[in-house]
Amino acid sequence: TAVPLAGRIAVVTGASSGIGAASAEKLAALGAHVVLLARRADRLQELAARIEQNGGKALAISVDVTDRAAVQAAADRVAAELGGADLLFNNAGVMLPAPVEELATDQWQLQIDLNITGLMNVIGAFTPQLVKAAADRGVADLINTSSIGAQNIYPNFAVYTATKAYVTHLSRHLRAELGAKNVRVAAIEPGIVGTELQTHVTDEGALAWLAGTRETMEWLTPQDVAETIGFLAALPPRANLQQVTIMPTGQA
């Protein structure tokens, strides 16, 4: 059987749950040696053990991606132990919707710190490895998790969707910049996926809106998104799917 990602070193952030965990499992099943990054060490260890039981290879590193020095230390460890990453799925994120006049400034800051600053810390620490891998072996991948919120308008989600518009726009520019060095860059923009993301929401109105969407559609599963990540990574090196929107069939 074909092993499309054999020999590849794939770093996944937000790997302790949801889209990141499912995607790490998928990339490992396709043959990549995966590196699992998130804060909850126990969850990462469990996932690494399951991947290895299934014949894959995994390294778990507990890290808070908003801590730039800690992210750099994780990247240095990946370079030392595995020779560097050639695939980065930059996926950790948080969604905390609320009406803007409630001034939930702590929640604004959390979303900006993780979805923008955390994302940049990871790009900063791992891009040199991606560029080196692409020079040595002809291709590397940077895949950032954005959201359909980067395109559409959702009242009460302004700060979150603006962080995701940042991710999509950044990805388009980095694709143009890094493509010349054989590093493919993609943004994945999912609609609603059932994960722990919704469990952090505290705003009553947003919770009611989310519950309402459950009545009218079947949410995506993390595995649906993971399939897409595997597909992107396994394309021939000349082909870069720049932006992928994946929606629940019933979501407008």
**Residues in contact with ligand NDP by the rule CB under 6 A:** 13-20, 38-40, 43, 64-66, 91-95, 114, 118, 145, 147, 190, 192-193, 195-197
Amino acid (1-letter code) at residue 18: G
Pick the closer one to ligand NDP by CB: 186 or 193: 193
Q: How far is the CB of 3 from ligand NDP (least distance, A)?
A: 26
Pick the closer one to ligand NDP by CB: 16 or 129: 16
> Does the CA dihedral 109-18-234-59 come out positive or negative?
positive
Name the DSSP letter for residue 115. I
Pick the closer one to ligand NDP by CB: 74 or 134: 74
Q: 145 φ, ψ to 5°?
A: -90, 110
* Exposure of 114 in the CB half-sphere (CA atoms within 13 A): 21
Q: How far is the CB of 91 from ligand NDP (least distance, A)?
A: 5
* Exposure of 105 in the CB half-sphere (CA atoms within 13 A): 1
> Does the CA dihedral 36-42-43-48 come out positive or negative?
positive
Q: How far is the CB of 31 from ligand NDP (least distance, A)?
A: 23
Q: How far is the CB of 249 from ligand NDP (least distance, A)?
A: 15
Q: How far is the CB of 49 from ligand NDP (least distance, A)?
A: 16
What kind and span of H or E run contains 116? none
Pick the closer one to ligand NDP by CB: 28 or 139: 28
Ordered strands of the 9-13 beta sheet: 57-62, 33-38, 9-13, 87-90, 140-145, 183-190, 243-246
Catalytic residues: 160
Pick the closer one to ligand NDP by CB: 93 or 182: 93
Burial per residue of 35-54, b for 16 or more beta-carbon CB atoms within 10 angstroms, e otherwise = bbbbeeeebbeebbeebeee
Q: Helix, strand, or coil here: 193?
A: strand
Residue 139, classified by CB atoms within 10 Å of its CB into exposed (0-12), middle (13-18) or buried (19+), is buried
